[in-house]
């Protein structure tokens, strides 16, 4: 079975531009979470979506947005890019079906974004 897939793998943008990152969860998984990992730091939670609805949002500006599609894939959008947005963006999926939310998340390989 395929794991979590993300596209593109690498991306170079300039300041002020917009970027869209894509994530396909493991088949059967309905929850997708997004994390930002700046070089040398741990991942930081951005969003979680379940059944196309936002379930959680981290401490990120409104320039960051996301959505989930009927097939449970997801997009992360970042507007008005800043140099500080350069990072590895990780997507993780889980079944989302645990009442306690304690199911395991599986991470994709990430999209490395460089903002010049």
Provide the H-helix boundaries in 43-115: none
- Residue 81 preceded by cis peptide, ω within 30: no
Whichever of 14 and 98 has its CB closer to another protein, that residue is 98
Our finding on whether 98 is near another protein (CB under 8 A) is yes
Whichever of 38 and 80 has its CB closer to another protein, that residue is 38
CB of 100 to another protein, least distance (A): 7
Our finding on whether 11 is near another protein (CB under 8 A) is no
Cβ atoms within 10 Å, residue 105: 18
CA atoms of 55 and 60, how far apart (whole Å):
15
Tell me the site size for another protein, rule CB under 8 A: 30
| Dihedral of alpha carbons 93, 69, 55, 10, sign | positive
Our finding on whether 55 is near another protein (CB under 8 A) is yes
Q: Which residues have a Cβ under 8 Å from the Cβ of 4 and sit 6 or more positions away?
A: 23, 24, 25, 26, 91, 92, 93, 106, 107, 108
Our finding on whether 96 is near another protein (CB under 8 A) is yes
Our finding on whether 104 is near another protein (CB under 8 A) is yes
Residues lying near another protein in the complex (CB under 8 A) are found at 4, 31, 33, 35, 41-45, 48, 50, 55-56, 58, 90, 92, 94, 96, 98, 100-110
């Amino acid at each position: 079975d395929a794991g979590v897939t993300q596209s593109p793998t690498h991306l170079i943008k300039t300041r002020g531009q917009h970027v869209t990152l894509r994530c396909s969860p493991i088949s059967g998984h309905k929850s997708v979470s997004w994390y930002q990992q700046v070089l040398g730091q741990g991942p930081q939670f951005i969003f979680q979506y379940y059944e196309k609805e936002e379930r959680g949002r981290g401490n990120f500006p409104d320039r960051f947005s996301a959505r989930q599609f009927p097939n449970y894939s997801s997009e992360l959008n970042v507007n008005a890019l800043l140099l500080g947005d350069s990072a590895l963006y990780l997507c993780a999926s889980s079944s989302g079906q645990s009442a306690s939310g304690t199911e395991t998340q599986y991470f994709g390989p990430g999209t490395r974004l460089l903002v010049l």
